[in-house]
Amino acid sequence: MREPFPRISRQQFFFIFAIANICLTPFGFPTLLYKELEQHAWISPLAAYVLTIWNLLVAISLARQFPDQNIVEWSRQILGKWIGGLFSICVIVILYFWGVSMIWAFMLLIMFTQLAHTPIYFTSLLLIGGVVYLLMQGLEGFARFAELVFLFLIAGFIAINAVQFTNADFNRLLPVGGFPLDNLIKPDVIASLFVFRGIFIVYFLFKYLNDKKRLLPLSIYSLSIAFVEILLATVLPIAIYGAQAASKFIYPYQESLSSVSIEWLPFEKLTFLTPMLWQIVIVYVLGSSLFCATEGLSSLFNIKNKKRLLIIIGVVTWLIVMYQVSYMQLSQMIMVWSIAGLLIFTLIPTLLWAGLSIRRLLKS
């Protein structure tokens, strides 16, 4: 009774999409923005949200034109074998690096938080091993995991945000006017437009959806959940500490949470919960990243044994994350990667979409 082709429901897609877009962004992301945009840092997620809706429109439109293929397969049809292949490799590398960079970010977070005695390499080994095992259960297994844990995660996000409102003073976001326009074109700020990179998994998940109707509104609802979380992660540290103080922290969101004392629980602070919450978020992110990389490579090189490929990718990932990077190195890498991601996932698909639309118009 094995199904010949894995299928995921719209509901499961919604859950994966929302958490993959939240990612670990609330931690590293705001710090750089506070330095450049101060109390106006919220503009950046807003701009990224608007740009991502456009990207979604393009992505879903392109995917609909090739409903049974992923981006690697259809890009080679449109762009030809070599240029399409090169574009596919860029797509795979960017989505793969997404997972790797988030593990690095997570390892730095472990070192930073009060669970510092934890051996970080074993943690990453266990995490990567767990995700590879999860993906070996098939896409449906991964989707069921995403569905099962989603409500727990949402409850966790509500808990860690709601408590911060007790100390928040939103007057610290004022004055609203007087944007530092010059700073808007700085690389850090431009890179932050790639913050909702989770949407690009649609290029690989689309063909597995059992119902492709009304996908754009569904994706926008899901994206909006991520947007609200990232906006809160940007705004709450400013509302609690002020923009200048918040810009001094490495992880302002974690610091703003530690400003809340929970006296009725047998724990010192609720901050210990957040790394565990992010550990589960990482499963979504790494799962999506490794899935896309496996799908992409198997399509590109016509590899039939996806499980073996997945294990190889998992081992390579673990070897990569053994190389420890500093916070600054990671920030630089993420900036370069984000700008490359914008080029590959915003500019090129938009051009492709425009080209295909014009060709269709001319034909008709």
Partner 1 sequence: MNIGEMGKIRNIWVDEMKGESFVSFFNKKNKKNNQNKANKSDSNANPVKPTIDLSEQTEKLPRSYEERLQLIEELIQTDDLKGIKLEEQGISCYFLTTIIDLKRFNDEIAPRLQEWVDFPEKWHILFPQAVLRDTTADTVTDLLEGHIVMNHRGLHGQAVTLSMLSIKSRAVEKPDNEKMILGPKESFTEDLETNIGLTRRWLKDPNMVFHYFQVGERSKTRVAVGFIRDITNPDWVHEIETNLKKINIDRIIGHKDVMDLIIGKTNTPFPLYELTELPARIVFDLSEGRIAILVDGSPFSAILPCPLLSMYIGSEYVMQGGIIPLFVRSIRVVAAFLALYAPAFYVALVSINSSIIPVETGVVLAADQLGIPYPTVIEALLLFIILDIFIEASTYVPGAIGPAMNIVGSLIIGQAASQAHLVSHVIIIVSAITAVGTYVTLYQLSMPIRIWKYPLIIAAAVLGLYGIIGCTVILIAHLCGLKSLGVPYLSPFAPLRWKDLLNGAIWDKDRSESKKRLSMFKAQDKVRQEGDPDA
**Which of 131, 115, 154, 102 shows the shortest CA–CA distance to 275?**
115
Q: Which is nearer to partner 1, 73 or 140 (CB)?
A: 140
Contact between 210 and partner 1 by CB under 8 A: the answer reads no
CB of 303 to partner 1, least distance (A): 22
Answer for which of 61, 123, 224, 331 binds partner 1 (CB under 8 A) is 123
Cα(339)–Cα(191) distance, rounded to whole angstroms? 5
Site for partner 1 in 142-171 (CB under 8 A): 142-145, 147-149
Contact between 61 and partner 1 by CB under 8 A: the answer reads no
Cα(241)–Cα(245) distance, rounded to whole angstroms? 6
Beta-ladder partners of 8? 209
**Which of 55, 97, 98, 2 shows the shortest CA–CA distance to 203?**
55
User: Hey, what are 212's tokens?
Assistant: 């492709």
CB of 115 to partner 1, least distance (A): 6
Cα(117)–Cα(108) distance, rounded to whole angstroms? 13
Residue type for position 328: M
Contact between 186 and partner 1 by CB under 8 A: the answer reads no
Answer for which of 46, 67, 114, 307 binds partner 1 (CB under 8 A) is 114
Q: Which is nearer to partner 1, 125 or 330 (CB)?
A: 125
Q: Reduce the DSSP state of residue 339 to 3 states and report it.
A: helix
CB of 194 to partner 1, least distance (A): 27
**Which of 315, 65, 346 shows the shortest CA–CA distance to 206?**
65
Q: How far is CA 104 from CA 138, 269, 330, in A?
A: 26, 25, 8
Q: Which is nearer to partner 1, 277 or 335 (CB)?
A: 277
Q: Which is nearer to partner 1, 85 or 130 (CB)?
A: 130
Contact 203, 132 (CB under 8 A): no
3-state helix, strand, coil in the chain (%, to 5): 80, 0, 20
Contact between 276 and partner 1 by CB under 8 A: the answer reads yes
Contact between 333 and partner 1 by CB under 8 A: the answer reads no
Q: Which residues contact 188 (CB under 8 A, 6 or more apart)?
A: 32, 33, 35, 36, 335
Answer for which of 4, 68, 82, 122 binds partner 1 (CB under 8 A) is 122
CB of 206 to partner 1, least distance (A): 19
Contact between 260 and partner 1 by CB under 8 A: the answer reads no
Sole residue written with tokens 């509104």: 217
Cα(315)–Cα(301) distance, rounded to whole angstroms? 19
Q: Which residues contact 32 (CB under 8 A, 6 or more apart)?
A: 188, 192, 331
Q: Which stretch binds partner 1 (CB under 8 A): 38-46, 109-117, 165-173, 224-232?
A: 109-117
Contact between 11 and partner 1 by CB under 8 A: the answer reads yes
Q: Write the binding mask 128 to 147 for partner 1: x where contact by CB under 8 A, - elsewhere.
A: -xxx-xx-xxx-xxxxxx-x
Answer for which of 16, 58, 127, 239 binds partner 1 (CB under 8 A) is 127
Contact between 272 and partner 1 by CB under 8 A: the answer reads yes
Contact between 266 and partner 1 by CB under 8 A: the answer reads yes
Q: Residue numbers of the site for partner 1 (CB under 8 A)?
A: 1, 9, 11-12, 110, 114-115, 117-119, 122-123, 126-127, 129-131, 133-134, 136-138, 140-145, 147-149, 266-269, 272, 275-276, 279-280, 283
